[in-house]
Amino acid sequence: MDKPHLIYNFDEKGIQTEHRPPKVLSVGETVPAISSARSSITTLLGCGNALGTQIPPYFIFKGQRMYDELLAGSSHGASGTITESGWSNTQVFLKYLDEHFLKFMQRSSPDQPVLLILDGHRSHVNVSVLDWAKQHNVILSILPAHTSHILQPLDVGCFGPLQRIYNSECHKFLRASPESRITRYNVCQLACTAYTSALSPNNLRASFMKTGIFPFDCQQVSANQAAPSHAYQPPTC
């Protein structure tokens, strides 16, 4: 396909309110750092295309009822829903595709096919999702198992920076407001800042290029990267 605006990658990332403080150099003592207590997961659904355009973030909060306050301070276009666990499922994924992905993806008409690259999680690969894709002219390309670290653009070049930026935003928030804590009511604002920066046009384009998806280049991923692991052989004396 020679139309980068029609090539998308979708992925999910779990975000905890517990974050990793930045590293500080010191001599002879341990430097204390402010951090939130461990709590539940909020899942972030991310997507972007090979042209460098990001789909706004979509959040899955843990809870029984969706409140507008959960999206307070979010970036433009961000949306979300709730589940009992805070993780995604088939129903949520279909809701995301139908109400969020279709709304923001770029194509001139519904007759124009769109390629959506994603992993083979069971919530992504089932009859209801395949029926939806066929109805809306979306071609699903499922990545082989255990290859996301080399073939999935968001994993390769975006979600790493996203985690680092999110950790930094959490640290700044807690340093500015030591009496506060990070909860599901402010995680969206902090994660949106990280998402917007991490899924920048440059990062998205570089990620699709590094995986060899666009421009298509089968030499970007070597056979050794996808080779099976070998059993450990202890050295012989």
Q: For position 225, what pLDDT does the model report?
A: 78
**Residue 29 within any structural domain of the chain:** yes
Number of domains in the chain: 1
Cβ(48)–Cβ(158) below 8 Å: yes
**Residue 78 within any structural domain of the chain:** yes
Query: β-pairing, 54-62 with 79-83?
Result: parallel
Cα separation, 211 vs 104, whole angstroms: 24
**Residue 175 within any structural domain of the chain:** yes
3-state secondary structure of 38: coil
Q: For position 148, what pLDDT does the model report?
A: 93
Helix (H) or strand (E) run with residue 67 in it: none
**Residue 155 within any structural domain of the chain:** yes
Residue 91's CATH number: 3.30.420.10
CA distances from 210 to 39, 52, 112, 163 (A): 35, 14, 26, 20
Cβ(183)–Cβ(142) below 8 Å: no
Q: For position 139, what pLDDT does the model report?
A: 97
Query: β-pairing, 138-142 with 79-83?
Result: unpaired
CA atoms within 13 A on the CB side of 155: 15
With a CB cutoff of 8 Å and minimum separation 6, the contacts of 148 are 11, 119, 155
Q: For position 17, what pLDDT does the model report?
A: 77
**Nearest residue to 83 (alpha-carbon basis) of 71, 67, 100, 66:** 66
Q: What is the chain's pLDDT, residue by residue, as a tens digit (237 residues)? A: 689 999 999 999 999 876 655 555 555 555 555 555 555 799 999 999 999 999 999 999 999 999 999 999 999 999 999 999 999 999 999 999 999 999 999 999 999 999 999 999 889 989 999 999 999 999 999 999 989 999 999 999 999 999 999 999 999 999 998 888 899 999 999 999 999 999 999 999 999 999 999 999 988 988 777 777 777 778 876
- Take residue 83 and report the two structure tokens written for it: 């589940």
Residue ranges in the chain assigned as alpha helix (H): 90-96, 102-104, 127-135, 148-151, 153-157, 159-176, 187-198, 201-210
Cα separation, 229 vs 23, whole angstroms: 33
Phi, psi of 76 (to 5 degrees): -60, 130
Residue indicated by tokens 């042209």: 51
Phi, psi of 218 (to 5 degrees): -70, -10
**Residue 222 within any structural domain of the chain:** no
Q: For position 18, what pLDDT does the model report?
A: 66
Identity of residue 107: R
**Residue 229 within any structural domain of the chain:** no
**Residue 223 within any structural domain of the chain:** no
**Residue 228 within any structural domain of the chain:** no
- Take residue 34 and report the two structure tokens written for it: 């402010």
Range of the domain at 178: 4-215
Cβ(143)–Cβ(117) below 8 Å: yes
Identity of residue 145: A
